[in-house]
Amino acid sequence: MRVPTRLITAIGFTMLALLMTAPAIAQIEDQLSAYTGANAEGYLQPLSDAFGADLNSGWYHSAYIPEDGFHWSIEFRVMGTIFSDDAATFSATTQSGFSPEQTVDAPTVVGSGDAVTVGGDGGTEFSFPGGFDLNSFAMAVPQLKLGSFKGTEAVIRYFALDVGDVEIGNVKLLGFGARHSISQYLDPEFPVDLAGGFMWQRFTLGDDFIEANAFTIGVQASRSFGWIEPYAGLSYDTFSMSVSYDADESGETEEIDLDAESSVCLCLGCAVGIAPVMVNAEYSIAAQNSFVFGLAIGF
């Protein structure tokens, strides 16, 4: 009876987090409509970096994978990123035929909410929109872990949500991955458990507003000390995001591809608990640092 209560709470938390994110993302489309080309890319880049870092983290909390036998785990991950001061502004250039052309530091999507305005010929003015004044970006995802077959387990992330009331349509995340035990080939006395694996994910928002793809491949190590299990991982992560929106100036649909980010990530974490409940926390050091809090229920 206690497990379902925790499960419902965790599901509720996950859905709440997703629903709260949706209106903010819808507002991003309005902010973006003032921009085209390089300005739009610069404005969105910090969010793209954070999103990529979050998606590519939190998909494991141990390197131990049983060789055989049916094991399952329903897991909830809250992945977060703290933005640095550097992410608050980008080098933006006036557009819309404004004269003379000027380049200034303007707020990114996570920067100050205040618009930046510059003066031009004949008393004209050009304004760069404000950001959302964010310290952090976080997302919550549910995932299912299934195993084991010859020391191999599958990880599936999925959610789909219709948030039509904020005019952006559906939010969908689909991801799958697999991990394989390396420890089964090593001496049983080897001091840590080792595993290797990969995970691929695709996130879409609206019909074509945002499409993001994330991929990570790497190795993990952990050691159990009863109810506490420190772990570490080293991975190669890639992430790309494309955004399609209606630009005010041209009245046409603009499509931008944000820089594909690839980086090596060192992840350090610790899982605590006893079956069937485990909680974990981890910190990832990469091009964009991130952290994870997780809850896992399973056997």
Partner 1 sequence: MRTRFLIPLLLLLVAFAMSGSDCLLDEKVLDIVYFQKTCVGFEQNEASAVFTTPETVDYADELDEILDDNDITKSDINSARVVSASYMVTDFSHTHDWEISGEITVRRIDTAGAAVTLVTYTDQSIQGALNNSVPAVLDQAGVELMNQALEDYIAGTAEPVLEFAVQNGAVEPNPSAQNMLVFDWRGCVAIHIVAGISLEVPDPF
Query: Shortest approach of partner 1 to residue 135 CB, angstroms?
Result: 6
CB of 38 to partner 1, least distance (A): 17
| Sequence letter at residue 76 | F
CB of 282 to partner 1, least distance (A): 15
Smallest distance, partner 1 to C-beta of residue 42, A:
15
Least Å distance, CB 197 to partner 1, is 26
Tell me how far, at minimum, the Cβ of 200 lies from partner 1, in Å.
25
Going from the C-alpha of 4 to that of each of 8, 49, 87, 110, 132, the distances in angstroms are 6, 35, 41, 37, 37
- Cα(9)–Cα(77) distance, integer angstroms: 13
- Strand 136-147 and strand 71-82: the pairing is antiparallel
E-strand ranges in 109-186 read 116-119, 125-128, 136-147, 152-162, 170-181
> Phi/psi of residue 88, each to 5°?
-75, -25
CB 178 within 8 A of CB 197: yes
Considering the complex, state which of residue 122 and residue 188 has its C-beta at the smaller distance from partner 1.
122
CB closer to partner 1 out of 266 and 277: 277
236's CB contacts (< 8 A; 6+ apart) are: 216, 217, 218, 262, 263, 264, 265
Binding site for partner 1 (CB under 8 A): 6, 9-10, 12-13, 16-17, 20-21, 23-24, 27, 30-31, 33-34, 80, 82, 96-99, 113-115, 117, 120-138, 227, 248-249, 272-274, 277, 279, 295
Phi, psi dihedral angles at 191 (to 5 degrees): -65, -20
My answer on whether omega of the bond before 148 falls inside 30° of 0, hence cis, is: yes
Rounded distance between C-alpha atoms, residue 256 and residue 251, angstroms: 15
Residue 6 corresponds to which tokens in the numbers above? Answer: 């925790």
Q: Which of 250, 262, 238, 213 is nearest to 37 (CA)?
A: 250
Asked whether the beta carbons of 254 and 246 are under 8 A apart, the reply is yes
Q: How far is the CB of 91 from partner 1 (least distance, A)?
A: 18
For partner 1, give the closer residue by CB, 151 or 206.
206
Q: Which is nearer to partner 1, 78 or 195 (CB)?
A: 78
30 or 68, CB closer to partner 1?
30
How far apart, in whole angstroms, are the C-alpha atoms of residue 139 and residue 50?
Answer: 10
- Nearer of residues 137 and 245 to partner 1, judged by Cβ: 137
Q: What are phi and psi of 36, to 5 degrees?
A: -135, 165
Min dist. Cβ of residue 269 to partner 1 (A): 15
Instruction: Please identify, using beta-carbon distances, which residue of 81 and 148 lies nearer to partner 1.
Output: 81
Q: Which is nearer to partner 1, 60 or 83 (CB)?
A: 83
